[in-house]
Amino acid sequence: MTVVFRRNISRMEGYVPGEQPRERDFIKLNTNENPYPPSPKVRQAILRELGEPLRLYPDPGSTALRRQAALTYGFDLPGVIAGNGSDDLLAMIARAFVGEGDLLACPMPTYTLYDTLVRIQGGKLAGVPYPDDYSLPRGLAGKKARVTIVANPNSPSGTAVPVRVLAELADAVPGLLVVDEAYADFADETALGLARERRNVIVLRTLSKSFSLAGMRIGLGFADPGIIAGLDKVRDSYNLNRLSIAAGVAALADTGWMERNAGRIRKTREALAAALPGVGFTPFDTPTARSTASACWPPPTSSSEAAARCCARPPPSALPPIRSRRPPAPWRRRCSATDGSGACRDRTTSCCARRTRAPPSPCPATPGCSPLGSSTWGATVSGASASGASSETSPTGSRHRSCDQAPPGDKQAFTTRALVRTSRTVVRWRVRSSVLPRNRHRCAPMRPLCSTS
């Protein structure tokens, strides 16, 4: 017997979420997770729910979470809805407002889940390209769509549209305006005021980014009580678990912790944006579209070109130096990649230090090998420079060879692996070593791994 799916399901492609590797010995950038931990009050709240309470179903309406969100953001309880991440809320909106053949409009490029949700419903996506300055496209309201979505700040461009422009859009569209504010805590404005003033606006928030709770899947929606009541009809039962509700309440009650972390990220963003032009990147910075961390290399000549390769991996010569935050480890290493004499087995494997307190010298018999020691966690990540610099000095004082001295197949050798997901491409750079039990370290191949997803 053949199982037959609906025609639109058979023809569509499912959404591909960001890769979540099991290893943790690299810098992961593909899903914009917060580098700082959540509030300590979140841990305490979760611990209180462990044990006996877990045998009970959670509150189906997540009342405690919604009440705390209403208090934090200045809404009445009937104007707040909670979801299993903001993606759950987007799915509710698609189920409630988009039918067979209906239009959903949004600027492009943007969050690709919008297209998937519309196709599930049998609707059509009306994408309007951003202009070169990433201001709001003029033809967006002209699509006359049942639902119009604006991610603000936008992903992946990181640009933001002024709230006054969104207010004009709300007055112009014939249907619902959804403002997806996943990154609003890192921007200068919020459209929450529009959700209070206009009956056709819903603002979505997530606790995954600024509140460092991506693993708990907590989303919030703010709108007129009439919109919330309609969405509640299509909401899954018990869509948030007990631990997520408790964690969300605790996080929203400690917004000071979130604001401090967001401030630290803003400072890091400013320092990065100031350094990017020196290595060949051009961050967006216009009066109508403020950058919130994204950049393109080289600068795109049009929005369509930016959509195709925005934030694509730059050549090695444009890679900025990055330093690991982990403290240096002692100079005691054992390496399975050596034959016992300290010589490397092959040309693609870095050599390790033997039991000594002084930085070892590179393997004399193997060109391109680099010592592994306290520079493992403090070494500078560097690509092959155009000038062919012979060496880099790590913060710990030891020296390692640059990529230009490595064999031809190892030009992409880096001391830290980063994972960057751009469109459908995943680029990995191998890490030299990872901490193993009993202070034992291993050497990893010095070659990049590239794959597509």
pLDDT (tens digit per residue) in 146-177: 999 999 999 988 899 999 999 999 999 999 99
CATH, residue 80: 3.40.640.10
Which residues are registered as beta bridge partners of 128? 107
Task: Give residue 285's pLDDT band: very low, low, confident or very high (50, 70, 90).
Answer: low
**pTM for this entry:** 0.66
Same domain, 71 and 143: yes
Does 245 share its domain with 118?
Answer: yes
pLDDT digits (tens, 9 = 90+) for 58-116: 999 999 999 999 999 999 999 999 999 999 999 999 999 999 999 999 999 999 999 99
Residue 163 lies in a domain: yes
What would the mean pLDDT of 213-236 be, rounded to a whole number? 97
In the listed set 256, 289, 305, which residue is the last one of a domain according to the structure? 256
Q: Count other C-beta atoms under 10 Å from residue 29's C-beta.
A: 14
C-beta atoms surrounding 52 within 10 Å: 7
Query: Under a CB-based contact definition with an 8 Å cutoff, are residues 370 and 363 in contact?
Result: no
Residue 272 has pLDDT above 70, yes or no: yes
d(CA 232, CA 236): 8
> What's the CA gap between 177 and 151, in Å, rounded?
11
With 70 as the cut, is the pLDDT of residue 350 above it?
A: no
Q: What is the predicted pLDDT for the residue at 23?
A: 82
What number is the average pLDDT over the span 271-295? 67
Q: What is the pLDDT of residue 431?
A: 32
Nearest to 102 by CA among 137, 68, 126: 126
DSSP three-state, residue 233: helix
Query: Does a structural domain hold residue 244?
Result: yes
**Long-range pairs for 448-453 at CB < 8 Å and ≥24 separation?**
448/412, 448/414, 450/425, 450/426, 451/426, 452/424, 452/425, 452/426, 453/16, 453/19, 453/421, 453/424, 453/425, 453/426
Domain that holds residue 375: 314-453
What pLDDT digit, counting tens, does each position of 113-138 carry? 999 999 999 999 999 999 988 999 99
Q: Are residues 216 and 278 in the same domain?
A: no
Asked whether residue 213 is domain-assigned, the answer is: yes
**Which run of H or E residues covers position 245?**
helix 242-252
Report if residue 7 sits inside a domain.
no
How far CA 19 is from CA of 29, 114, 154, 176, 287, in Å, comes to: 10, 19, 21, 32, 34
Q: How far is CA 377 from the centre of its chain?
A: 23
DSSP string, 60-103: TT-HHHHHHHHHHHT--GGGEEEESSHHHHHHHHHHHH--TT-E
Is residue 308 in a domain? yes
Q: Are residues 448 and 302 in the same domain?
A: no
- Asked if the model's pLDDT at residue 24 lies above 80, the reply is no
Domain count, the chain: 3
Q: Are residues 45 and 186 in the same domain?
A: yes
> Mean pLDDT for the chain?
73
Residue 332 has pLDDT above 60, yes or no: no
Q: What is the pLDDT of residue 199?
A: 96
One domain, residues 97 and 186: yes
Structural domain ending residue among the three candidates 256, 288, 303: 256
Residues 349, 374, single domain; the answer is yes
Q: For residues 302 and 322, state if they share a domain.
A: no
For residues 99 and 143, membership in a common domain is answered with: yes
154 found inside a domain: yes
**The pLDDT value given to residue 372:** 35
* Three-state DSSP class for residue 266: helix
410 pLDDT above the threshold of 50: no
In a domain, 4, yes or no: no
Question: Residue 2 domain-assigned?
Answer: no
Q: Are residues 71 and 169 in the same domain?
A: yes
Tell me if 192 sits within 8 A of 203, measured CB to CB: yes
E runs forming strands in 194-259: 201-206, 219-223
pLDDT at 390 over 70: no
Q: Are residues 163 and 300 in the same domain?
A: no
More confident residue, 441 or 155: 155
Name the region of 78 (left: φ>0; alpha: ψ -120 to 50; beta: rest).
alpha
Instruction: Please check whether residues 352 and 438 belong to one and the same domain.
Output: yes
